Structure 1
């Protein structure tokens, strides 16, 4: 498409962090310098400055989903409260507590960013999810009812006039709104966190891929780091570890961004308080007004690749980029120039349920299904408590210790995931044609975290 890649990439030279050069000893070794690894290092270092903490990163800090996502720091969790309540040892009350912990995590990211001087364009403007057909309108009302049943009831239904006060889109019949989301600049948060943990005494080795995680050690081509606790924080890149090939499926999400828009265009669109936005279609879309006046907009639709392969070329799917551009034009009736297009893999566990835990010296967190910006913060604080052997409200949340079953072997995995992605596209077509709730979507819901 002739576009630069990632809008969130640093325009300035990045710090040169040396790779691992030989064996070393630590108290905690963290594999992955994305949000999960960096938040874990941050909270451990703050809790116990004497800990020797080493972070190993295959590329550079924030290289993966942490530096490529849509910038939604939201209270969304990838499975419903009803599904959470059904986990072994869980309950309705436990599911609601996790929901509240997610809301608190949105605020925690903002508080830490301010306290540590991380300028990540954090602004808590909430999330508007538009309903643009009668079927979508019914779905929005049902979500508000479900939220009242399973939580504090803070998901609001908005009339078209109330929607227009936040965002002026086309064909709007109503919307839902939650205040529990902030728009951020993902790259600034990742790079800022990396700098902060280094100031706290944490060592980050970049360009150091880990090939195997075992109790007490992380194995790389350049040496072995031995530690009492090894933390796996590799999200969509987890299948590259020996023995973890079917732990999560790396599914690509892609984004486009416009040029900075004029004041006249923003007067037409709204988004003055920078709420993140989406709509009620089944094939997920997501967007935000950036601090420098662009629209950054993404969605699913890129294929899953056989045997969980991840390659730079998979970030570039012109068909999906064109579809995202068309969708954004339709949402706001605008014709902007698009200056960026990029993407990357996110981690999807078999049951879509994110998890965090520590067993026999190996800790993990991940499987966020694209809802990781604030969930990683909750994971970092939870891993701190688990590693320091603290019994806290966080360590008793229902996602702690959860184990998703492995994905099917190939080619079943490739067939099933791509069939699911195709089904969500067809579900939207089905609703446009029948003007009724999609049968396809209803059949797929149990497989997609519903």
Structure 2
């Protein structure tokens, strides 16, 4: 496989991307981690802190950072898939506030580790600018600021001077721009220096308490960590636990500093607006737009295939949307197009869990908010596995169990109708100039 071609991030990472040696056969380890993404790597990192000398083996079918951990939008944010209001309804106010504070703190923790371990991942904490481009979106922006003030954790403010000709914008300081492939690949090298075995080209077939079966042999262990995110849909045990939803991205050629001054997005800043069909972007360290969004449909049977990573219709939509936001980018060449699946639990509520009786731990269901949440998951799983009772193990997502997704054809119909509903909601607001009825009806189904 041409791993360079997976994304702009893989193409620009200073790494050979040469696969590591696979599992050499049957063996034993203390902790077997299924999946070479950020959840698995962060779990290993913090296990080493809490239990020096622990033996850890990471099993990856492709290469470290092959999936969402290496292809995402590069937002290290405090976003959590379930809203604060939804967390409050489910777990109570204090638990919801604790979860929010943990997420805000996690942004700085990622930056701290990157600095301490000398992982050059272009980390720059400039916050997220969310543009309000209509009267309806302005009311949504004002509502977001008011809700943040009511809970008192997120320091979101309203800006009158907004980029892109927007009416206004909010600024959430709890977000950093980074290069995700540099982070995940750099973290893997740190782990190897500390004795963690990373076995690539090793496909996991099944797992049970204290055992993982792969195409290369069986690994006996004390704990199993399942960290497969959207790719869990391809495995029998987790097929209906997560739905793989595709998100696609484009990257432009580097743009001059003078043009960026005109655009109004500074280094370290990420950006979005208040539409319902999500978009997200950043100014990269080398002055490109890296811009993405939803819009690709769900595929029957939760299928994941390389051809689904690239949908010309969606790429064209992303380009048009980018130019609509920032007309200064109209002549910028698109140098890279890519995509991949992210993991969506049935209730849009991520989890970090350990079944003490079996020694099987799992984390995921980030719905695209995983670049920072994976770090919190790694710290939490490390505490659970080492038997610690901490503030992290008391958070409301710990041992949360989401319902299973419906069987086909209900899963196919429901997920694609949901995608259509968000498209309709944006059109509805443009026409009626009022908050969308369709979006209000969908809100409880998408974690709000």
CA RMSD in angstroms comes to 1.2
- Separation in structure 2 between the aligned mates of residue 332 and residue 51 of structure 1, nearest angstrom: 50
- Separation in structure 1 between the aligned mates of residue 19 and residue 86 of structure 2, nearest angstrom: 44
- Separation in structure 1 between the aligned mates of residue 202 and residue 45 of structure 2, nearest angstrom: 20
- Separation in structure 1 between the aligned mates of residue 395 and residue 261 of structure 2, nearest angstrom: 43
Q: Which runs of 5+ in 2 are unaligned?
A: none
Give the aligned partner of residue 81 of structure 2.
Answer: 78
Give the aligned partner of residue 398 of structure 2.
Answer: 400
Matches within 5 A, 1:7-406: 7-9=8-10, 10=13, 12-87=15-90, 90-159=91-160, 161=161, 163=162, 168-170=163-165, 172-334=166-328, 335=330, 336-359=332-355, 360-406=358-404
Give the aligned partner of residue 430 of structure 1.
Answer: 428
- Separation in structure 1 between the aligned mates of residue 148 and residue 181 of structure 2, nearest angstrom: 32
- Separation in structure 1 between the aligned mates of residue 145 and residue 438 of structure 2, nearest angstrom: 22
SS at match of 1:95: helix
Q: Does the 8 Å CA contact 1:99/1:151 hold for their aligned counterparts?
A: no
Displacement, 1:4? 5.7
Structure 1 length-normalised TM: 0.96
- Separation in structure 1 between the aligned mates of residue 257 and residue 266 of structure 2, nearest angstrom: 11
Q: Extract structure 1 runs of 4+ deviating beyond 3 A.
A: none
Q: Does the 8 Å CA contact 1:4/1:339 hold for their aligned counterparts?
A: no
Q: Does the 8 Å CA contact 1:75/1:374 hold for their aligned counterparts?
A: yes
Size of the aligned set, in residue pairs, is 439
- Separation in structure 2 between the aligned mates of residue 4 and residue 436 of structure 1, nearest angstrom: 43
Give the aligned partner of residue 7 of structure 2.
Answer: 6
Structure 2 length-normalised TM: 0.96
- Separation in structure 2 between the aligned mates of residue 341 and residue 449 of structure 1, nearest angstrom: 29
Displacement, 1:158? 1.4
Q: Which runs of 5+ in 1 are unaligned?
A: none
Give the aligned partner of residue 410 of structure 2.
Answer: 412
Give the aligned partner of residue 440 of structure 1.
Answer: 438
SS at match of 1:169: helix
